[in-house]
Amino acid sequence: MKILHLLYESQGDYFGIGGVGVRAYEIYRHLKDRHDITLLCKKYPGAADGYKDGLRHLFAGTESRSLAITLLSYAYHAARFVKKKGGEYDVIIEEFSPAIPTFLHAVAGKPAVLQVQGYTGTLYFRKYNPLYASVLSLMEQLRPACYRNFIFISQETAGKFRKNPKSRIAIIANGVSPELLGVPTFEGDYVLYFGRIDIYGKGLDLLLAAYRDFSQWLPDIGLVIAGDGRDMEKFKASVMTLPGEVRRKIDFTGWVSGDRKTEVLSKAAFAVFPSRHEVQPIAVLEAMACGKPVVVSDISGFSFVKKNGAGKTFKSGDASSLAQCMKELEESKDRTEIGLRGRESAKDMTWDKIAYRFEKFLIDTANGDKSRR
């Protein structure tokens, strides 16, 4: 089967790569030997067409260090590519982003699958100016209604969008590498955050404020920040405003992967994810697979943590509540048991199983389209 995937973030991306990109690469790692896969990615400074890890990469758009220009240019050029070349593929997958108005449903010559990995809603108005937020909110509501085939990460997310009653829908969760399930766990001496450095969305301002209080109660526990992103310099500047005895205990590892990521996870006391908005982030699942308890905000996107008894939740946006949760978990006698519950719940979410469900849906979609013609 020839697959075209409109993936707006890719390995080496100047603007960073998050869960959308990680999910795609993990799934296609299991499918690339059985299918002809092309990733149509947004262009960034230095991007070059070619093969990476057995996957064909094509870059569309204009090279720019402005994210807004990059995204809008990508939307225009990606739609042109699909209109011209889309008929060569059996199925086309588009990663949904309100900021990338491709209107692919109107130009795709083959079945288009909209993969929706999150819902932002009113949070746009807290992040952006009212005009831009209004546009994004409107696009989030209107565009999905034009599509017929969907992949959602969770049932909860699927319920937030208006869809055609005849839509073909699959709920396919995020996953973890099976190797993480066998990683030995240690009683570490640091709290870990790993993921994209997005201060507001990921709640990293809350983390710094909470850690300042936490370190007064438990001065021997450090904080490790593993990740990268366009807010990194601004975030490091915020760290420098903390008292010296606090900031000296904060360590930046940069983006981690492979064995290094496993090591950083396995040696943490627990992991903390104070996001203001999420939908089943891969980083949380990986921490759970490693047997690490997690502290997360009480937003709906983290409901699976509470459901599986895999950690503690704090009141979203409340740094004092976060600090108290971190203290309670560090001092808890049940910390190991909490971590093991998380690991058990991750056993059915390995990437090979996720890839099989993804592949089956694409095949059924392609075959279903043929039967209707």
Which tokens belong to 249? 């205990």
Task: Print burial letters for 41-54: b (CB count within 10 Å at least 16), e (below 16).
Answer: bbbbeebeeeeeee
pLDDT range class, residue 146, cuts 50, 70, 90: confident
Q: Residue 247 in contact with residue 273, Cβ under 8 Å?
A: no
Given phi > 0 = left and psi -120 to 50 = alpha, else beta, which region is 219? Answer: alpha
Domain covering 2-175+350-367 in this structure, CATH number: 3.40.50.2000
Residue 311, classed as helix, strand or coil, is strand
Which CATH number applies to 178-345? Answer: 3.40.50.2000
DSSP-assigned letter for residue 313:
E
Q: Mean of the per-residue pLDDT values for the chain?
A: 92
3-state secondary structure of 251: strand
Higher pLDDT, 228 or 373: 228
Non-local (6+) Cβ contacts of 149 within 8 A are 111, 112, 113, 114, 167, 168, 169, 365
What are the pLDDT digits (tens) for 184-210?
Answer: 988 889 999 999 899 998 999 999 999
- The pLDDT tens digits of the residues spanning 221-277 come to 999 999 988 899 999 999 999 999 999 999 999 988 889 999 999 999 999 999 998
% the chain with pLDDT above 70: 98
The residue type of 353 is: K
Q: Which amino acid is at 57?
A: H
Question: Do the first three CATH levels of 2-175+350-367 and 178-345 match, i.e. the same topology?
Answer: yes
What's the pLDDT band for 369 if we cut at 50, 70, 90?
A: low
Instruction: Say which range, 18-22, 75-79, 176-180, 291-295, has the weakest mean pLDDT.
Output: 18-22
Domain borders along the chain are 2-175+350-367, 178-345
Q: Tokens for 303?
A: 């409901």
Cα distances (angstroms) measured from residue 277 to each of 160, 280, 281, 297, 371:
14, 10, 10, 9, 40
* pLDDT of the residue at 370: 52
- Report the alpha-carbon distance of residue 58 to residue 7 in Å, rounded: 10
pLDDT for residue 373: 43
Q: Strand 149-152 vs strand 112-116: parallel, antiparallel, or unpaired? A: parallel
The confidence score (pLDDT) of residue 371 equals: 45
- DSSP 8-state code for residue 172: -
pLDDT tops 80 at residue 108 = no
- DSSP state for residue 145 in the 8-state scheme: G
User: Rounded to the nearest 5°, which phi and psi values hold at 76?
Assistant: -65, -50
Report d(CA 293, CA 178) in Å as an integer: 18
For the beta sheet containing 250-252, the strands, ordered from the edge strand earlier in sequence to the opposite edge, are 250-252, 222-226, 190-194, 270-273, 294-297, 311-314
